[in-house]
């Protein structure tokens, strides 16, 4: 499934990778975005705790994350305030 297809599903947080056209980035920005990002990160943490074994299940990616590295890394970086830059690097 292409990244655009993953992002177009209803009810899903659109992930900013830097590969989307500038007009799509601007229309996706809302005041709710930071709260949506943190909710997605909480979901990732919960998945880790439910699926990983060992003394510190939150310390390593879950299988779900390993199958979606672009989505996961993009969410983590954006939540920390790092802007997507793939398009800027290609210009």
Q: What is the pTM of this model?
A: 0.64
In the block, which residue shows the tokens 């655009």?
4
Alpha carbons 60 and 48: distance in angstroms, whole number? 7
Summarised one tens digit per residue, pLDDT across range 7-38 is 444 457 788 777 776 665 555 566 788 888 88
The SS3 of residue 76 is helix
What's the mean per-residue pLDDT of the chain?
Answer: 76
Q: How confident is the model at residue 60 (pLDDT cuts 50, 70, 90)?
A: very high
Maximum Cα–Cα distance across the chain: 45
Residues 51 and 78 sit within 8 Å (Cβ to Cβ): no
Residues in the chain: 91
Summarised one tens digit per residue, pLDDT across range 34-44 is 888 889 889 99
């Amino acid at each position: 499934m292409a990244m655009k297809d993953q992002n177009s599903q209803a009810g899903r947080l659109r992930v900013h990778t830097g590969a989307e056209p500038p007009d799509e980035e601007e229309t996706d920005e809302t005041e709710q975005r930071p709260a949506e990002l943190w909710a997605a990160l909480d979901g990732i943490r919960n998945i880790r705790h439910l699926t990983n074994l060992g003394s510190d299940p939150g310390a390593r990616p879950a299988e779900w994350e390993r199958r979606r590295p672009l989505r996961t890394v993009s969410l983590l970086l954006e939540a920390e305030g790092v802007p997507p830059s793939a398009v800027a690097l290609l210009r």
